[in-house]
Amino acid sequence: MKQPFFSIVVPIYKVEKYLHQCIDSLLNQDFNDYEIILVDDGSPDLCPKICDEYATKDSKIKVIHKPNGGLSDARNAGIAIAEGKYITFVDSDDFWRGNDILTGVSEIIKNNKYPDIIVSDFIKYYEQNNKYLEPSVICPKELNSRTKQEVLEYLYFYQTDMKMSACQKFTKYELLTTNTFEEGLLSEDIDWSLKIYPLAESIAFYNKPYYCYRQQREGSITNTASLRSFDSLIYILDKWKNEIPKLRIPNAEKSIYLGYLAYQLTICMIIYGKLDMNMQKDAIKRLHGHEELFNNKLNRKSIPIKYLVQILGMKNTCKILGLFIRLRSTLKRG
């Protein structure tokens, strides 16, 4: 049987309201050389039945039914049976907009000597008012002729967005055979991306945003800030601030990844303000343990936080960030 060009892995858990829209958007492509792997992660609703119904209607669809193991475990199960030359991921409450996505990505791949990773920008989708928020800056096509280092510098310094989500990447199959998702983490995409970016020799862009990222869905993982979120990010900081210096890559590339960790430290500082007060004492110690990350080359999002910490201290800066986030949320709702 011929190897498909693309494999699309869709982890599924308690999303029966959104699943039809997700799968239909993937089937609505004008490119036929792909497979869809639906991973039912022990979903207790109608999702397993919906998956099986789609599989009987279209030979491109494979279905895995497995006990619940979480997002990373479900993605890894999909990778294990994927046959495509490139693999991408779609969260089952999200969807693609447009029917020429795989055609466009395949053209980018073939015109740029089969890069290891192809990245794209998100569209934020607000279902309450059916609003699509396009990205304010889109990666220019010209970057596809630049070196990996130049691409990373553009992402980190200009866009201040390293495209860490698995859902905004098409990745060569070979990079994923031993680089799967660590189980038990939130922010697992950050950890996974820090595995595969250093291994890639080339990165290209598909600069037509298509992935509609559903916002503010009740019950979604990203809609809950908690001690687990904080613990996962601190774990990632601990792990990668030690691993990155050991990597056999140019120092300039290491500097970008370490600077990105400093940005994630600022996210931990925001989460700190949402923790219960009796948890904050230990949390502030853990934040202090990573202040040296601010000594790396920072982008414009992290530089002001570095100076606030130097002037006001870590705890006061956390309070200011918390106030800023609450004010911004209030203004958005208004």
Which residues are CB-contacts of 299 (< 8 A; sequence separation ≥ 6)? 156, 157, 160, 259, 263
The model's pLDDT over 73-101, given as tens digits with 9 standing for 90+, comes to 999 999 999 999 999 999 999 999 999 99
d(CA 331, CA 323): 12
Residue range 235-260: mean pLDDT, rounded: 97
pLDDT of 106 higher than 60: yes
Residue 177 pLDDT: 87
- The amino acid occupying position 316 is N
Supply angle C-alpha 183, 186, 192, rounded to 5: 65
- Could you tell me if 117 and 172 are in contact, meaning their C-beta atoms sit under 8 angstroms apart? yes
d(CA 306, CA 266): 9
Query: Locate tokens 């990597």: which residue?
Result: 247
End-to-end CA distance of the chain: 56
Secondary structure of residue 119 in the 3-state scheme? strand
The model's pLDDT over 258-273, given as tens digits with 9 standing for 90+, comes to 999 999 999 999 999 8
Residue range 64-72: mean pLDDT, rounded: 97
Phi/psi class of residue 281: alpha, beta or left (left: φ > 0; alpha: ψ in -120 to 50)?
A: alpha
Residue 217 pLDDT: 60
Residue 151 pLDDT: 94
- Listing DSSP states for 51-94 in one string gives HHHHHHH-TTEEEEEE----HHHHHHHHHHH---SEEEE--TT-
Query: Locate tokens 């860490």: which residue?
Result: 164
Q: Which pTM does this prediction carry?
A: 0.93
Residue 299 pLDDT: 96
- Listing DSSP states for 11-51 in one string gives EESS-HHHHHHHHHHHH--S--SEEEEEEEES-SSSHHHHH
